[in-house]
Structures are given as structure tokens and as C-alpha cells.
Amino acid sequence: MAGDIALSVDHLVKSFRIHQQKTNSLKQLIAARGRNRYDDFVAVDDVTFDVREGEVFGIIGQNGSGKSTLLKCMAGILQPNSGTVQVFRRMGALLELGAGFHPELTGRENIFLNAAILGMGRREIALRFDEIVDFSGLHTFIDQPVKTYSSGMYVRLAFAVAINVDPQLLIVDEILAVGDVSFQRRCLEKFVEFRSEGRTIVLVTHDMGSVKNLCDRAIWLEHGKAIDEGDPADLVEAYTERMLGGAAPAADGSVRRGSGEIRITEVEMFTQGDPTPVKRCRTSDSIVLRLHYQAEKTVPQPVIGIEIQSLGGATVTAPNTRDVGMVPPNMSGTGVVDITIPRVDLLPGTYDLHTSITDFNRAYVYDHVQLALRFDVMTGKPYETGGLVTMRPQWSLS
């Protein structure tokens, strides 16, 4: 065992054959003299890193950068062409919905099957069975065939099994974006619990906020290569700048990226009772942030989010409509989204507001506006000046 190393990836290479022309008949095969032309596509190209015991390690990169292939090699689902993966802890992996489930078996039977695949004995599974079902919330459906389950039910059961095999190393690929808000909250709580217990987590996600808030270290993949590794906040900033690299700032300093099917066209801020847009407020004011949108076509289940950062770059808050269970079935045409903040807890300073519209999984970006609005917060009540937000303390002296 390599000291405090939970997982080690050493010069890993994984490639796939991309066939140029499919041979559909014996005649074609003979004409080609038995050769089927193909190209080698290198999905993971000489990647090396260690994951230390007890840390949350993030993997970021665009779609097609090799993240999922890398995780499948780490989980033993794929065999690398060269290089090695060494796992020094009992591992649970959440890479695909219902991976290892048999559609004809019931949820109960699949719990025993999937847990056995993950290394648990039948007695141990039986002891944890009630806990698994409680976490999944599928009591009513546990004796129904899983082929009748929705994708959300699949992932709830898969996650419940994976975390209850008592893994010391958990590998997760963008799977927590599925499920309702209460289930996502339970997953996040379980993440925090695992982290406090000193367990190791490897996380792939397109949610940069999760990378900054949850991860201790991260690696950045691009075209299969690891181009940077280190502090998650630094990597996310560099990655975001790279993604925005092709976009020119607008006259107001904002930078836009995304596919453009739906866009935020304007952002306004109002204080209570005043119909005139403003760019300043006071601590404790009641404000409304109004996002005007325009959709070129109907967009299914869009998630609208904002992020407020201090001028120094620290994220103060980053809520979105999925977090509160307000994802519409679809959006089209034009309209507004109002975000009411009954009492501003920001302390005096200058703040930047960024906006985003994504798909439900927060992976596909329809629109992201960096610096959609810059506003100032003036002194209000309480008269605090240190920090970014007030906790509204009540003092007592005796």
C-alpha cells in the first residue's frame, strides 16, 4: 500500500478504434482483402496523478475530453492500452444509471446482485438492506421489476447501494444531477458525511461551483491530456477563462457564451416600491433581480441560475431554479424571471452578478453571461463593515 495514497494513475493511455467503413457483406470483406480500415482515437493520453486518502478530487474538462473514459478505467470497466491504475481502498463507483442492474429482476433482487458485484457478502447486504431502501425512498416499488423504474428511480437505487457498500473510495460521474431536489440534498449531505469521515471521493462534474466548494484538488483534461492540476479555485478560473476565450466583451464589459437557443437579454435590479432600475442598494434592503429572456425555440426543462461574486472574486451565493424545485417543463418566446431577495445581507462593497441558463443536468449551457450586472451595496443596518455578509449577531454583555 502506497502510504496515504488511495488511488494512483500512472501514464494511463486508452484508445479506441474508429472504423472508417463498415463491412456489410462477405463480398466487401474479400474485396478489402480482409482489412477493415480504422483510425485510432486516443481518449486518455498519458495521464498521471495520485488521489490522496481522505480528499475530494475533481476532474474537469469539456465534453469529449476523456473524463468518463478515465473514470471507467479507474473503476475497472475498461482496460487501458498502457499504464496502470492502482486502487488501495474498497471502491464504489457511480458511472452510469443502473449499471449492473438486471431489468427483469426486482429492486430487492437487484440490491443483492449489485451489492455482491461491489464486494459485499449476503449477510452484510441483509444487515444494510433497510438502510439502502430508506435512502432510496423506493419502499413502494422495491418488489417491482426495475424495468418499470424511471431513470430517477434507477439512480436513486444505484446511489443508495453504492454508498452503503461502505466504500472508502467513491467514484462519481455527473450522476447527482439526476433526481428531485430532496434526493440531491441527501446526496450532498452524504458527500459531506463521507468527507468528514475521511473517505476519498473522485468527482467528475460540469458544475464548477461544486468543484470549488467540494474538492480539495482537481485535474483538468483537454483532448485526453492532463493540462493542469492543483487548487480547484485556480483551475476553475483558468478553465472558465479558456471557455470564454473566443468571446469578445460587450460594451458593458459582459462576456457571453453558450449555444444561444435561449438567452438572457437584460438584467435589472429594483428596490422595494421603486419601479426605476437601480445599481445600488443598502444592507437590509428588499430587492428584486429581474432577468429578461428570449428563446429562439422551445427549450425543455431549462435551469436558470445566478452567481453573485465580490469584486475580489469570492462567490457569495449561486442559487438556481433546480435547487428549489422550480424547473418549468419548457420555456419559449420572451418573458422575465424575478428573483426576490426580501433582505439583503451583503455588506458594503461592489458585487458582480453572473447569469446562466442550462439543461436540467447543468451540463449543456444555453447561455452564460459573465458580468451581467455590477452593483454596489451601501451601509445599512446592521452597521457592519468587515466581511461580505452579515450573520446578524445579537450581542449580550454582563
The whole-number pLDDT of residue 86 equals 92
Pairing verdict, β 303-310 and 330-341: unpaired
DSSP secondary structure letters along 245-285: TTPPP-TTS-EEES--SEEEEEEEEEETT--S--SEEETT-
Cα gap 168→201, rounded to integer Å: 8
Single-letter amino acid code for the residue at 347: L
Residues in the chain, pLDDT under 70: 1-3, 19-37, 95-100, 174-181, 244-248, 312
Flag whether 373 is in a domain. yes
Average pLDDT across the chain, whole number: 86
Q: What tens digit of pLDDT does each residue of 360-396 get?
A: 988 789 999 999 999 999 999 888 888 899 999 999 9
Residue 202: closest CA among 89, 328, 71: 71
The whole-number pLDDT of residue 2 equals 47
The whole-number pLDDT of residue 22 equals 62
The whole-number pLDDT of residue 284 equals 95
Flag whether 342 is in a domain. yes
Cell 502506497 belongs to residue:
2
Domain count, the chain: 1
Q: What tens digit of pLDDT does each residue of 122-136 get?
A: 888 899 999 999 988
Flag whether 198 is in a domain. no
Flag whether 173 is in a domain. no
User: Could you tell me the pTM of the whole model?
Assistant: 0.69
- Domain of 273? 255-378
Flag whether 18 is in a domain. no
Check which CATH number belongs to the domain holding 281 and give it. 2.70.50.60
Flag whether 16 is in a domain. no
Cis amide leading into 382 (omega within 30): yes
Cα gap 224→43, rounded to integer Å: 5
Here the cell at position 65 is 475530453
Flag whether 321 is in a domain. yes
| Degrees to nearest 5, angle at CA 328 with 322 and 329 | 120
Flag whether 273 is in a domain. yes
